[in-house]
């Protein structure tokens, strides 16, 4: 063994790394990104849960209770409706995670020790949200501590996942995580691979336009993505007993929009990367914040506003909302139009940028 020869090889690797600016950036960027995400954006002490109120009593006590709940900062009351049905509709559409129902006889219930005075309706598809909502059970009655006897102020109703099984929360959203990794990775190396294998020379001599080339690259992977969706659904239903409450058609339409958005993001990466190794590096750099900020692992409401703004740019954030809404809450695409529109807009913007960046030239 020659230490001189080992040192020569090591010196060669250092010089190559120094010339590869993207790799140098990843050496600093990946740990820096993880530190910022886990230290700043990821917050398990969730506050300001999106909430709706149906105050059928309209008394001084009911209004005082709403004010106390808002002051406690566990919930942020963004919606006021006139019925329990309207609260359930907001929960199903994902516009709120906590519904507060005060019945018409709320004032009398406050002094009845046999039954709760009000009701908490919680989206239990995320057990972390349910745990935070339980903090509201300790809210003192607005009429004084002697009110609402031993029955407690609130009755808690957990919707969509009353057993609090983690698989119910994780498995549907896992469709988006798998598609994010595979779709972006497949297409991020597409153009780079053509260049490295010399196939780009042949493409230059053909009448194929840039848009036709991009769309042709996407078509096979769309079918692969739909197969992956079907596989996860079958395993989720048969192995983990995950309920499916929505329409299968809506789920596949949402998945199709998400697959298209993810594939075009991969194509955009492919026009930037100089090698397949760089393409894989950039894919990982996109994959990390997608998992951490999308609401897949950590409650979205617990993130600061800056992190939520970044998350809104990522396709996985919108697909997690869509897939959980359709599969677990039985919502339709028509009830969640903004997330679907966001995916389509992302697809259009990413495709436009990819076509603009790609030049059918050897350089």
- 16-40 pLDDT per residue, tens: 666 666 666 666 666 776 676 666 6
Return the pLDDT at 325: 95
What is the number of structural domains in the chain? 2
Confidence of residue 317 (pLDDT cuts 50, 70, 90): very high
In sequence order, the 6+-apart residues with CB closer than 8 A to the CB of 192 are 270, 273, 274, 275, 276, 278, 279
Return the pLDDT at 172: 93
- Asked if residue 99 is part of any domain, the answer here is yes
At 116-167, the pLDDT tens digits run 889 999 998 877 788 888 888 888 877 655 555 555 788 889 899 888 888 8
Judgement on whether residues 170 and 110 belong to the same structural domain of the protein = no
Judgement on whether residues 214 and 314 belong to the same structural domain of the protein = yes
Judgement on whether residues 191 and 336 belong to the same structural domain of the protein = yes
Indicate the residue among 124, 159, 194 that finishes a domain. Answer: 159
- Asked if residue 297 is part of any domain, the answer here is yes
Judgement on whether residues 221 and 196 belong to the same structural domain of the protein = yes
Return the pLDDT at 38: 65
Judgement on whether residues 144 and 172 belong to the same structural domain of the protein = no
Indicate the residue among 120, 141, 159 that finishes a domain. Answer: 159
- Asked if residue 19 is part of any domain, the answer here is no
Confidence of residue 42 (pLDDT cuts 50, 70, 90): low
In sequence order, the 6+-apart residues with CB closer than 8 A to the CB of 218 are 187, 260, 263, 264, 267
Judgement on whether residues 218 and 301 belong to the same structural domain of the protein = yes
Judgement on whether residues 101 and 132 belong to the same structural domain of the protein = yes
81 DSSP β-pair partners: 54
Q: Which long-range contacts does 171-174 make (Cβ < 8 Å, 24+ apart)? A: 171/232, 171/235, 171/236, 171/240, 171/242, 172/236, 172/242, 172/323, 172/324, 172/327, 172/328, 173/294, 173/295, 173/296, 173/320, 173/323, 173/324, 174/232, 174/236, 174/296
Confidence of residue 362 (pLDDT cuts 50, 70, 90): very low
Judgement on whether residues 137 and 171 belong to the same structural domain of the protein = no
- Asked if residue 11 is part of any domain, the answer here is no
Average pLDDT over residues 296-311: 84
Judgement on whether residues 82 and 197 belong to the same structural domain of the protein = no
- Asked if residue 211 is part of any domain, the answer here is yes
- Asked if residue 73 is part of any domain, the answer here is yes
Judgement on whether residues 142 and 173 belong to the same structural domain of the protein = no
CATH number at residue 55: 3.40.1710.10
Judgement on whether residues 152 and 173 belong to the same structural domain of the protein = no
Judgement on whether residues 141 and 276 belong to the same structural domain of the protein = no
Domain that holds residue 94: 49-159
**In the predicted structure, residue 262 carries a pLDDT above the cut 90:** yes
- pTM recorded for the entire structure: 0.85
Side-chain-side CA neighbours of 65 within 13 Å: the count stands at 35
């Amino acid at each position: 063994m020659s230490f001189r020869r080992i040192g020569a090889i090591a010196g060669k690797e250092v010089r190559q790394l120094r010339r590869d600016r993207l790799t140098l950036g990843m050496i600093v960027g990946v740990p820096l990104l993880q530190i910022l995400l886990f230290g700043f954006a990821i917050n398990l002490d969730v506050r300001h849960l999106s909430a709706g109120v149906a105050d059928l009593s309209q008394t001084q006590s009911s209004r005082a209770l709403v004010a106390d709940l808002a002051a406690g900062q566990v919930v942020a009351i963004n919606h006021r409706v006139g019925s329990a049905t309207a609260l359930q509709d907001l929960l199903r559409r994902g516009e709120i995670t906590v519904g507060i129902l005060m019945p018409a006889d709320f004032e009398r219930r406050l002094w009845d020790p046999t039954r709760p005075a009000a009701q908490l309706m919680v989206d239990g598809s995320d057990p972390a949200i349910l745990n935070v909502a339980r903090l509201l059970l300790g809210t003192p009655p607005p009429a004084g501590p002697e009110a609402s006897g031993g029955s407690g102020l609130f009755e808690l109703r957990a919707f969509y996942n009353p057993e609090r099984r983690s698989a119910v929360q994780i498995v549907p959203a896992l469709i988006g995580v798998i598609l994010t990794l595979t779709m972006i990775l497949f297409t991020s190396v597409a153009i780079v691979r053509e260049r490295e294998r010399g196939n780009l020379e042949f493409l230059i001599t053909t009448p194929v336009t840039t848009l036709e080339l991009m769309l042709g690259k996407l078509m096979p992977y769309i079918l692969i993505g739909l197969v992956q969706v079907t596989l996860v659904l079958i395993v989720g239903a048969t192995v983990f007993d995950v309920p499916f409450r929505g329409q299968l058609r809506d789920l596949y339409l949402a998945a199709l929009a998400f697959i298209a958005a993810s594939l075009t993001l991969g194509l955009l990466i492919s026009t930037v990367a100089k090698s397949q190794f760089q393409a894989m590096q950039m894919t990982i750099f996109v994959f990390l914040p997608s998992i951490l900020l999308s609401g897949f692992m950590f409650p979205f409401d617990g993130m600061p506003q800056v992190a939520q703004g970044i998350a809104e740019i990522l396709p996985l954030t919108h697909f997690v909302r869509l897939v959980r809404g359709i599969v677990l809450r039985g919502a339709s695409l028509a009830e969640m139009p903004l997330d679907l529109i966001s995916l389509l807009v992302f697809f259009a913007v990413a495709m436009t940028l990819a076509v603009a960046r790609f030049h059918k030239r050897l350089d």
